């Protein structure tokens, strides 16, 4: 199972935040204050990547800047699966269909060590997950791989080739050759929760180009 650590916010003194999965399956942000019973909850827009605060958050308690900082600080982290850290026990707010608030705990079937090794493999010198670095290495692999060459020659589907490259690189980075397609897809979702396909934009472009060149002969 994988879990995320809570992060400390600077724009809201004393506040901590973490990511959880919403009822619809997308990411959500939870912000907690030690002296406030009701947590602040926001889902993350799949188009803009910005927070969509729940309608029934305590008015004036959780500013937009707090959710924005929480989204930035928890980027690339897996979902939280523990009880509320360092905050009073309190009931969750009533569900809000418009913002798809959280409903219970969600099981995530990926080993934490595997996930951390993959994130570490694509972390740049500043300590941040780098999509540029990840895509660069995957494009280089696609260019050199005999299997990818065979898939290109056979006219395989673009998605199938991208899945093969991502799975192979994730398996190599984690040292776990037994990662399933489902686990690879879940790790990709966790790495880029707003748009998993967007995380591999450059890789997709390279594969598309290779397929085009093969068709032109």
The DSSP annotation for 37-106 comes to SSPEEEEE-TTT--EEE-TTSPTTTS-HHHHHHHHHHTTTPPPP-SPPTTS---PPPPP-TTTT---S--
Q: From 79, 57, 109, 106, select the one nearest 5 (Cα to Cα).
A: 79
The pLDDT value recorded for residue 96 is: 46
The pLDDT value recorded for residue 199 is: 82
The pLDDT value recorded for residue 135 is: 93
C-alpha–C-alpha distance, residues 156 and 150, integer Å? 9
Query: What is the full per-residue pLDDT of the chain (217 aa) written as tens digits?
Result: 344 567 889 999 999 988 877 766 677 888 999 888 888 999 888 778 889 998 889 889 999 999 999 988 887 666 654 444 444 344 444 444 444 444 444 444 567 778 888 888 998 888 888 889 999 999 999 999 999 999 999 999 999 999 999 999 999 999 999 888 888 888 887 777 545 557 889 999 999 999 999 988 7
CB 57 within 8 A of CB 40: yes
pTM: 0.56
| Pairing mode of beta strands 7-8, 51-53 | unpaired
CB 28 within 8 A of CB 46: no
């Amino acid at each position: 199972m994988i879990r995320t650590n809570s992060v400390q916010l600077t724009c809201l003194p004393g506040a901590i935040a973490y990511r959880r999965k919403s009822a619809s399956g997308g990411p959500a942000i939870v912000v907690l204050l030690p002296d406030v019973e009701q947590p602040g909850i926001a889902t993350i827009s799949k188009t803009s990547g910005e927070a969509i605060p729940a309608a029934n958050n305590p008015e004036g308690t959780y500013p937009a800047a707090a959710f924005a900082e929480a989204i930035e600080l928890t980027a690339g982290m897996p979902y939280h699966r523990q009880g509320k850290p360092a905050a009073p026990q309190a009931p969750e707010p009533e569900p809000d269909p418009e913002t798809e608030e959280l409903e219970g705990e969600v099981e995530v079937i990926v080993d934490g060590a595997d996930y951390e090794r993959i994130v570490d493999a694509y972390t740049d010198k500043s300590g941040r997950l780098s999509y540029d670095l990840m895509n660069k290495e995957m494009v280089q692999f696609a260019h050199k791989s005999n299997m990818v060459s065979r898939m290109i020659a056979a006219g395989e589907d673009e998605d199938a080739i991208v899945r093969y490259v991502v799975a192979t690189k994730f398996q190599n980075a984690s040292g776990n050759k037994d990662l399933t397609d489902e686990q690879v897809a879940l790790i990709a979702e966790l790495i880029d929760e707003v748009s998993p396909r967007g995380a591999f934009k450059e890789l997709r472009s390279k594969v598309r180009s290779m397929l085009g060149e093969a068709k032109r002969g």
